[in-house]
Amino acid sequence: MSATDDRAKIGRMLKISDLQVFYLAIAAIFIFTGFIYNFLFFRLFNIKVEQFFTLQDYLSSSIEKVYLIIVAILFAVVSTYLARYIMRDRHKYQHHRFVAVLLYCIPVIMFAAGMLMLIKYKEPSGYFLLSFVMYAVSDFVLFKKIFKGNHDSYSHYFYFTGFMLYVLLIISTVVYNRDSVLHEPRHSLKNYQVHFVRDVSVNPDNCIILEANSNYFFFYNESLNKAYVIPKDGISYIETNR
């Protein structure tokens, strides 16, 4: 075998290795997010999630949440990058005064909208708006005060604020789903009827399904303020209401 063939073989091995590292990193992000979300969410209902979840369960439960969070982070990072670029070259945009006004007004409007949603309308979606405001303010302070407006230097460290937004969005999702369970009308949450097997001594009438994984269903009884973990073989069937 020639040296050229050896180099080509090594190159193919490196490419395969890089792909494996990439897939492992993506899987790790999904599993980590699934664990953090479920750990925080179920602790609010006094359930120790580590006793009932497997790695596959963490991965499965996080797919939708990670997708939405990553899309939100990409949107936020691109938006703040463009804002920093405009601030760096603001002399080019002096004749577009509304651009500068817009950069400062958007976080203020989002903050006001988030507080209004939380205080007046009791709408937990306001937590997401406040998360973006905290991210934008932190990004601005780091860029202007710590890095003195040096766009090139700050571009190597913006992932710190990106990670902060990632954590804030996970917490916001937990609070949003908790408030949905505790404050939403039961008729909008429970459009089904659960039938347990005879051995399960739990009244299903006031039980709301929190989540389900490969082996268990998680219920919350609003009237008793109590959570139940029922194995799947303890459920006869679930009937949906029309």
**Cα dist. 236→18, 143, 159 in Å?**
47, 58, 48
Around 88, how many Cα atoms within 13 Å sit in the side-chain half-sphere?
A: 16
Give the Cβ contact number of residue 196 at 10 Å: 19
CA distance 164 to 80: 14
Domain made up of 188-240: CATH architecture: Roll (2.30)
Instruction: Provide the whole-model pTM.
Output: 0.77
At residue 199, the 3 state secondary structure works out as coil
| CA angle in degrees (0–180, nearest 5) for 125-126-132 | 105
pLDDT at 185: 62
Query: Using CA of residue 186, residue 191, residue 192, residue 193, what is the dihedral sign?
Result: positive
Around 232, how many Cα atoms within 13 Å sit in the side-chain half-sphere?
A: 7
Question: Tens-of-pLDDT digits for all 242 residues of the chain?
Answer: 555 555 555 555 545 566 677 778 778 888 888 899 999 999 999 999 889 999 889 988 888 777 778 788 888 878 877 777 766 665 555 455 666 677 778 888 888 999 998 887 778 788 888 999 998 888 877 777 777 666 666 666 677 888 888 889 999 989 988 888 887 665 555 678 888 888 888 887 778 889 999 999 999 988 888 999 999 999 988 888 76
pLDDT at 102: 72
Per domain, the residue ranges of the chain are 3-183, 188-240
CA distance 141 to 134: 11
pLDDT at 108: 87
CA distance 84 to 151: 7
pLDDT at 7: 56
Backbone angles phi, psi at 84, to 5 degrees: -65, -35
Partners of 220 in the β-ladder: 208, 227
Give the Cβ contact number of residue 86 at 10 Å: 16
